[in-house]
Amino acid sequence: MTRSCHANTHGFQKRAPPFTQGGDESIPHHLGNYTHSHEDVAEPTYSCTSIGECDVCTPFEQKSAPYCKEYGNKERVRCEWDDPDLAENLRNQTMVYDYDAISLPSYRGCPHVKRIEHWKFIKFETFNLLVAVTSVSIVLWRQRKLARDQYQRLAQRIGVAV
């Protein structure tokens, strides 16, 4: 399953100074005259492909990892930038510890863990089987009891000793 996501900059939001209109002198000259706001720039997008099965997050991950917040489960993914030029630029970065760099996720949240769902299904089917066997046993016992009671009433009416 491929999912398109917006890149997250680790919670840091960069903002450009507001642009000036009409040569506003209240903004210092060294900030420049911006022609657009930072919010108008489209965020780079990427596509993710699952490369692992859904698994339960650890207690630490449930508290700290954003992908574990919604479901409490995680799935390993391989993500690639949708824009090849952006991917090439990011690959050529020289600084490893750049706070401005956008890293692609390696996990995403997923709603169902296969082995847990399988176990729930087995328990559900076992419970249904037990209810069915109990119900059929009660119905058969009740039918025999009613037939015996009816036979005894009929035998008393016609005077046959039972």
Per-residue confidence band for 48, with pLDDT thresholds at 50, 70 and 90: confident
| Token pair in block for residue 20 | 């000036």
| Token pair in block for residue 74 | 């995680």
| Predicted pLDDT of residue 130 | 98
| Predicted pLDDT of residue 36 | 47
| Predicted pLDDT of residue 1 | 46
The identity of residue 149, as a single letter, is D
Whether residues 126 and 106 fall in one domain: no
Cα–chain center distance at 77: 13
| Predicted pLDDT of residue 104 | 80
Q: Are 143 and 136 in contact (CB under 8 A)?
A: no
Whether residues 144 and 161 fall in one domain: yes
- Express each pLDDT in 101-143 by its tens digit: 567 888 999 999 999 999 999 999 999 999 999 999 999 999 9
- If you search the block for the tokens 């506003």, which residue do you land on? 24
Whether residues 129 and 98 fall in one domain: no
Q: How far apart are CA 127 and CA 9, in angstroms?
A: 48
Residue 68 has pLDDT above 80, yes or no: yes
Per-residue confidence band for 85, with pLDDT thresholds at 50, 70 and 90: confident
| Predicted pLDDT of residue 14 | 44
The reported pTM is 0.50
Q: How far apart are CA 66 and CA 9, in angstroms?
A: 13
Alpha-helical (H) ranges within the chain are 59-64, 84-91, 114-158
Alpha-helical (H) ranges within 4-102 are 59-64, 84-91
Q: Which range of residues forms the domain containing residue 123?
A: 114-162
Whether residues 142 and 160 fall in one domain: yes
How much is the average pLDDT of 56-81?
91
Q: How far apart are CA 124 and CA 80, in angstroms?
A: 40
* Among the listed residues 2, 1, 3, 5, the one whose alpha carbon sits nearest the alpha carbon of residue 102: 5
Whether residues 70 and 146 fall in one domain: no
Per-residue confidence band for 47, with pLDDT thresholds at 50, 70 and 90: confident
- Lowest average pLDDT, out of 84-88, 102-106, 146-150, 151-155, goes to 84-88
Q: How far apart are CA 143 and CA 24, in angstroms?
A: 95
| Predicted pLDDT of residue 29 | 52
Whether residues 120 and 108 fall in one domain: no
Whether residues 133 and 84 fall in one domain: no
